[in-house]
Amino acid sequence: MTMLSRFRANRSRMPTETVEVSEKDGLRSLHLGSDTVQSTMRIADPIELVLSYTRAMMGFLLFHPQPRHVAMLGLGGGSLAKFVHHRVPDASVTVVENNPQVIAAARSLFSLPPASERFAVIEGDGADWVRNHPDGCDVLMVDAYDGDAQVGELATEGFYAEAASALQDDGVLVVNLWSSDRSFDLYLRRIERAFDGRVLCLPAERRGNVAIFGFRRAPGPVRWPALRHRATQLAKAVGLEFPDYVERLREMNPHDDKRLII
């Protein structure tokens, strides 16, 4: 693995943390003060979602296929931001990232799109943005980790309650959690309370990450054949393995053979 660049971060939480970028086998990855990969880009195809957990997070399109505004907390190398910008062309994207060095790395080395009416990266506190934007987005994606763990301020009971309020009535919260995190069950219960139990879990293809979907309003019972048909159409339009997502959801919800109840 070749270390491509280092950016010295200036954060009050971890003032000595270093943003590092490495390359190996045609892949460029971003790290935050450890060997843990925060984001990966295929250099030959910057839009591809290389990491399976990012693809699983896009499973929200099964339930909200035409979002108008997608907000994201945590930029990393901008994989999700780039993908939504290019593959969901009717949606505007707002990303909130508190580390200016992460933003600098994403812009210089990860093909981040330039600012436009449809694409904005804000340097700031994600919790503050959520608190100050009630009914502010259709989809809120939270993928906020430092080098070791989930950022605590974006996993509290109060934060998840404010996240629910930041969504439009038919909005969806999407959270990336590590199943091996000893706080996984605690975080999941907090999300369930904030969304009155309207929550689905979608394990990523690579074991370890789980995409959590919280629905501000119940989308109602969805019959499995209808969901499979929707997945097939999305796979053609967006290019991800949506039929596999449906089968994983089916495995996680075995109590009803005919429909998925949220």
- Amino acid (1-letter code) at residue 44: A
C-alpha 208/C-alpha 21 separation (Å) is 23
Copy the structure tokens of residue 220.
């109602």
C-alpha 148/C-alpha 141 separation (Å) is 20
Beta strand residue intervals within 49-153, DSSP E? 69-73, 92-97, 119-123, 137-142
Catalytic residue among 135, 143, 196, 244: 143
DSSP of 26-58, one letter per residue? TEEEEEESSS-EEEEEETTBTTS--SHHHHHHG
Copy the structure tokens of residue 189.
């219960």
C-alpha 130/C-alpha 194 separation (Å) is 14
143 catalytic residue (yes or no):
yes
Catalytic residues: 143
